[in-house]
């Protein structure tokens, strides 16, 4: 089954394009690894999540979890992960490592990443993962920004290495990279 990574900048059309790739499927497992929205805490995030939910077909099953590897292994339908950037954020949150030197915890992150890559490579379902390109700008001046950029870059490379297609979204237009 094909494994596709859809990447690009913020608001480049990644999610909409990824959803269209699976639009003809009667059922899709939509894995949402980001934080569960709370309109009282972050109304903007809640509105983004609601917009994504409104676009989904009624046959799509939403799984909200940071354990993306388990969700991929359990899926009996095509899978859409949206997105790896929110998975990295939530994983760092769970590990409590935003302010801890990376040498003390990066191994725990890489263990989770290896598990995700194994699940991705071993699935017999069609898979689509949305992710962000954050390495095209300046290096963040704060440690947590550098940690995020480094780990997302590593995540993107690992998933892309075991994927069949890589699509770069630019201004709503897909560019086939591989």
pLDDT at position 154 is 94
Other beta carbons less than 10 A from residue 149's beta carbon: 17
pLDDT at position 130 is 98
Other beta carbons less than 10 A from residue 76's beta carbon: 10
DSSP state of 104: G
pLDDT at position 98 is 82
Per-residue pLDDT of 155-178, as tens digits, reads: 999 999 999 999 999 999 999 997
What does the alpha-carbon distance between residue 6 and residue 21 come to, in Å, rounded to a whole number? 10
pLDDT at position 157 is 97
pLDDT at position 55 is 74
pTM of the model: 0.90
Residues 61 and 77 sit within 8 Å (Cβ to Cβ)? yes
Check 48, 52, 73, 154 and give the catalytic one. Answer: 52
Counting as low any pLDDT under 70, the low residues of the chain are 101
pLDDT at position 34 is 83
DSSP state of 142: S
Q: From the DSSP assignment, how many helices (H) and strands (E) are in the chain?
A: 6, 7
Residues 61 and 32 sit within 8 Å (Cβ to Cβ)? no
Examine the residue annotation and report whether 9 is marked as an active-site residue of this protein. no
pLDDT at position 153 is 94
pLDDT at position 29 is 96
* 3-176 has CATH 3.40.50.300 classification: yes
pLDDT at position 44 is 84
Residues 29 and 77 sit within 8 Å (Cβ to Cβ)? yes
Name the burial class of residue 16, with classes exposed (0-12), middle (13-18) and buried (19+) by CB atoms within 10 angstroms of its CB.
middle
């Amino acid at each position: 089954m094909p494994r596709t990574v859809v990447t690009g900048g913020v608001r480049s059309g990644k999610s909409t394009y990824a959803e269209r790739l699976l639009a003809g499927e009667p059922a899709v497992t939509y894995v949402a690894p980001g934080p569960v929205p709370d309109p009282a805490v972050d109304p903007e995030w809640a509105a983004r999540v609601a917009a994504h939910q409104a676009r989904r077909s009624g046959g799509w099953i939403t799984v909200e979890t940071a354990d993306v590897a388990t969700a991929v292994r359990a899926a009996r339908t095509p899978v859409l992960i949206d997105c790896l950037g929110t998975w990295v954020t939530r994983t760092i949150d769970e590990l409590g490592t935003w302010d801890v030197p990376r040498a003390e915890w990066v191994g725990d992150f890489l263990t989770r990443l290896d598990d995700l890559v194994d699940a991705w490579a071993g699935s017999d379902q069609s898979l689509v993962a949305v992710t962000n390109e954050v390495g095209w700008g300046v290096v963040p001046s704060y440690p947590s920004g550098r940690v995020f950029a480094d780990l997302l870059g590593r995540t993107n490379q690992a998933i892309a290495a075991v994927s069949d297609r890589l699509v770069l979204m630019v201004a709503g237009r897909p560019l086939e990279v591989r």
